[in-house]
Chains A and B, each alone.
Chain A
Amino acid sequence: AQSVTQLDSQVPVFEEAPVELRCNYSSSVSVYLFWYVQYPNQGLQLLLKYLSGSTLVESINGFEAEFNKSQTSFHLRKPSVHISDTAEYFCAVSKGSNTGKLIFGQGTTLQVKP
């Protein structure tokens, strides 16, 4: 069975500060890993994903995540956050090779303060 744990339910941070949102997973098979962002009363938007290849993946808006197989982690980082980054962030792992069937973590609320 697969599971995802996001260690922080809320992360308050000041604007322009760096941030790391933690995600650990457990799986007995190879996995695909994802980070999604959800703004209030909206669906989810894919932020970035790891399928294979380079363990460091980046998004177009400055976020990055590194797949660490030995630590079974996929932490999300951004060196300098903006107010507009305030949202709910979900880490997810696919159920096997079907990347449509996702198991989500509990979510982390990123609160960026001015």
Chain B
Amino acid sequence: GAVVSQHPSRVICKSGTSVKIECRSLDFQATTMFWYRQFPKQSLMLMATSNEGSKATYEQGVEKDKFLINHASLTLSTLTVTSAHPEDSSFYICSAHAGGGNSPLHFGNGTRLTVT
């Protein structure tokens, strides 16, 4: 079945540095990918929609200069957390459709970011 791979699974970085998270669709092309953030013991919040070849669409309240999204190919979207701070520590999850709009949404296994 369709698989979405996310890397790294865990990352620890120092405050002020930047971290890049990759999301790949392994056996299908994804013109659109979605990035979610999950705080401990809370639900997932949609951060942005990543569109291949164009700018990402950010949800209200999400800083686009803080969370840089690049969707350079049909199988790869990256999320870069710039100048990370401890409050950015969270679980970040990407997802993508394997086909049309009504096809299942496949999620990556997530990236646990800890900023010290």
B contact residues, range: 20 to 34
Determine which of A46, A51, A90, A106 lies in contact with B105 in the assembled complex, contact meaning CB atoms within 8 Å.
A46
Which residues on A are within 8 Å of B, measured CB to CB? 32, 36, 41-46, 49, 51, 90, 95, 97-107
Task: Tell me whether B4 and A43 are in contact (CB under 8 A).
Answer: yes
Bound-state CA distance A41–B106 (Å) is 16
- B residues less than 8 Å from A41 (CB atoms): 9, 109-110, 112
Bound-state CA distance A100–B106 (Å) is 9
Tell me the interface secondary structure of chain B in the complex: strand
How close is B71's CB to chain A, nearest CB, in angstroms? Answer: 13
> How many A-B residue pairs lie within 8 Å, measured between CB atoms?
60
Bound-state CA distance A82–B30 (Å) is 35
Task: Tell me whether A90 and B97 are in contact (CB under 8 A).
Answer: no
- B residues less than 8 Å from A45 (CB atoms): 107
- B residues less than 8 Å from A106 (CB atoms): 42-43
- A residues less than 8 Å from B61 (CB atoms): none
Can you pick out 5 interface pairs between chain A and chain B where the beta carbons lie within 8 Å of each other? Answer: A43-B108, A99-B105, A100-B32, A100-B105, A102-B46
Determine which of B93, B97, B101 lies in contact with A43 in the assembled complex, contact meaning CB atoms within 8 Å.
B93
**Residue of A44, A46, A101, A102 ringed by the most chain B CB atoms within 10 A:** A44
Q: Which residue of chain B lies nearest to A44 when distances are taken between CB atoms in the complex?
A: B107
Whether a CB of chain A sits under 8 angstroms from the CB of B25 is: no
The 9 closest A-B pairs by CB, nearest first: A43-B107, A104-B43, A44-B107, A43-B109, A104-B44, A106-B43, A43-B110, A43-B108, A100-B34
Q: Which residue of chain A lies nearest to B96 when distances are taken between CB atoms in the complex?
A: A100
